[in-house]
């Protein structure tokens, strides 16, 4: 028996490092999984890597209400409903001073990182209500609980989704819909390669070494480390847990 037997999960940002790791873990635990992203080639590759007939993909822009509705409809048509929604899609934006930050880039970060999960909730909650409950998990960050120079829009967005999560958790608790965030420290993904290069152009390795030195456990997270926390929150093992921030940061905020 898997921990997610009979469950249907939607994973946005499904073509990225965390999304792929989550898709693999959820399938291993018995779920039917719909991976969602903008990049169809990367999605197809992710599905092939997982190698199961219990995973498929849907190309969508999570900043679009219409696309979010289509994602939920697709999961319902293919698998019968929605029990788990992992709002994992996100972008880092630029590494730049607030004084120099491009306004349109700020808007893009907020659209993807905040509006995306908001629209995901609006589409997923009615489907979960039909199933008698569910779990909605938002990927935040250590940047959701502290500041970081040069990354103000990203930090702002990751703080914002904690407020969204807490409000939704209270609003939908009576429907047995749980809402939580997972807040990773740096993870071995493309996003961190971009941030490292932005912090120290031409010296990304040194930037990474410095960040690792600030993590008590001495390393970045592996995507599977984060996927395992998300599995717990998606499963019935966390049936009484909602409205909470789950740090997965190697002790960074201890």
Q: Which residues are catalytic?
A: 154
Rounded distance between C-alpha atoms, residue 217 and residue 220, angstroms: 8
Please report the DSSP string for the chain in residue order: --TTTT-EEEEETTTSHHHHHHHHHHHHTT-EEEEEES-HHHHHHHHHHHT-TTEEEEE--TT-HHHHHHHHHHHHHHHS--SEEEE----------TTT--HHHHHHHHIIIIIHHHHHHHHHHHHHHHHT-EEEEEE--GGGTS--TT-HHHHHHHHHHHHHHHHHHHHHGGGTEEEEEEEES-BSSHHHHHHHHHHSTT-HHHHHHHHHHTSTTSSPBPHHHHHHHHHHHHSGGGTT--S-EEEESTTTT-
Q: What is the number of other CB atoms lying within 10 angstroms of the CB of residue 163?
A: 11
């Amino acid at each position: 028996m898997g921990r997610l037997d009979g469950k249907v999960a939607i994973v946005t940002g499904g073509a990225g490092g965390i999304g792929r790791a989550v898709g693999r873990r959820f399938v291993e635990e018995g779920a039917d999984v719909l991976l969602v992203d903008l990049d169809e080639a990367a999605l197809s590759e992710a599905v092939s890597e997982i190698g199961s007939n219990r995973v498929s993909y849907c190309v969508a822009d999570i900043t679009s209400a219409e696309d979010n509705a289509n994602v939920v409809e697709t999961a319902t048509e293919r698998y019968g409903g929605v029990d788990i929604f992992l709002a994992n899609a996100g972008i880092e934006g630029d590494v730049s001073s607030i004084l120099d930050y491009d306004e349109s880039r700020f808007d893009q970060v907020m659209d993807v990182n905040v509006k995306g999960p908001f629209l995901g909730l609006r589409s997923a909650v009615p489907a979960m209500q039909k199933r008698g409950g569910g779990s909605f998990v938002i990927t935040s960050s250590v940047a959701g609980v502290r500041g970081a120079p040069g990354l103000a829009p990203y930090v702002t967005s990751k703080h914002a989704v904690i407020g969204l999560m807490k409000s939704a958790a209270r609003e939908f608790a009576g429907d047995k819909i749980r809402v939580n965030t997972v807040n990773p420290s740096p993870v071995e993904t493309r996003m961190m390669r971009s941030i490292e290069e932005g912090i120290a152009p031409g010296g990304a390795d040194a930037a990474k070494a410095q960040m690792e030195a600030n993590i008590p456990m001495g390393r970045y997270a592996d995507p599977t480390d984060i996927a395992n926390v998300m599995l717990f929150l998606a499963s019935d093992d966390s049936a009484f847990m909602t409205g909470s921030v789950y740090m997965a940061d190697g002790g960074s905020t201890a």
